[in-house]
Amino acid sequence: MRTVPPPQSSPSKPTYALPRHACDTHVHIYGPSDRFPYDPDRPYDAPEAPAQALENLHLHLGVDRVVIVQATVHGTDNRAMLDAIARRPDSARGVALVADDATDNELQTLHAGGVRGLRYNFMPHLGHSADPRAVLAMARRVAPLGWHVQLHVQAEHLAELHPFLSTLPVPYVIDHMGRPMVRDGLEQPALTELLRVLEDEQAWLKISGPERISEILSQGPIPYGDVVPFVQSMLAVAEDRIVWGTDWPHPNVREVPDDGKLVDLLPRYADAGVLHKVLVDNPARLYGF
C-alpha cells in the first residue's frame, strides 16, 4: 500500500488577510488512529493529521470556518470527522461517506453532528467508482435534510454524466475544479464542458487543488499562478456558486503545497467583492452557517 506524504510542517504566513468568517470548505482529518482506526480496505495509507493540527493551521492562516470532508482512509466510519466538528460546532460542518444502505437514523445522526452533504467518488484510482443510480437514490433521501452531493470527478467525464446530473434533486458540488489540466489550455474540451455544466443553477464548484492542475507547480514566481485564468473563467460563469478550500493535508498530489501560498493566490483570482462571496457568502448558503 502506498503512503502519501504529510502536509508541510511550517507553512508561510499569508500576506492576504482573509475576511471574517472565511471558510475552508475542503479539508480532511486522519486519526488519531488509536481512537479512530483507518479502514483496512483504504486505497492508500497516510500519516496522522488530527483535528488539533487542522485548528492550528487555520489559526495561522486566518480561517474562521471549515468543512471537513470525510477522508477515504477512514471509509464510511465518520467518527473522526464528527469528533472534529464537535470541537467547534458553530464554525464547522461536514461532508460524509456512507454506505448505500445507510439507515434514516444514521443520516439523522450525521445531520445532528453537522453533516450537510455526501461525497461520491468517480475517480477509479481511488477505488470503485460510484453507481449513479445509488447516488440518485441517496440524493432523494437526503433532499429533505437540505443536503447536497459532492462529486469527485474529472471535467472530461462530465459529458457522459450529464443525464445523471440533470436528474439530481439536490445541489451537486464538483471537487478540485474538475481538474482541467493547465497544459491543455483554456480552449480544451474538459474546461468547456465544466463551464457548460456550471451554467446549471444546481451546480457548484470548489476552487481547490491548484497543485493538481498547474504546469509550473511551485517553481514559478507565483506558485500555481498559471491556474489563475482557469479560475477566472469559472468565476465568470458561477461566482455565486463557487467555494474555496485548501485540501489540507493534501492527499494524492504531485507536490505538497504551502498552505500560506494557496491563500495568497486568492486575490489574483478576483476582487474583494467576488472573494467575499467565494469565502463567506457562498459557503454560508451551501453549508448552513
Residues with catalytic roles? 247
Q: How far apart are CA 263 and CA 33, in angstroms?
A: 29
Q: What is the CA radius of gyration of the chain?
A: 18
* 30 residue type, one letter: Y
Largest Cα–Cα distance in the chain?
Answer: 52
Cβ–Cβ < 8 Å for 129, 122: yes
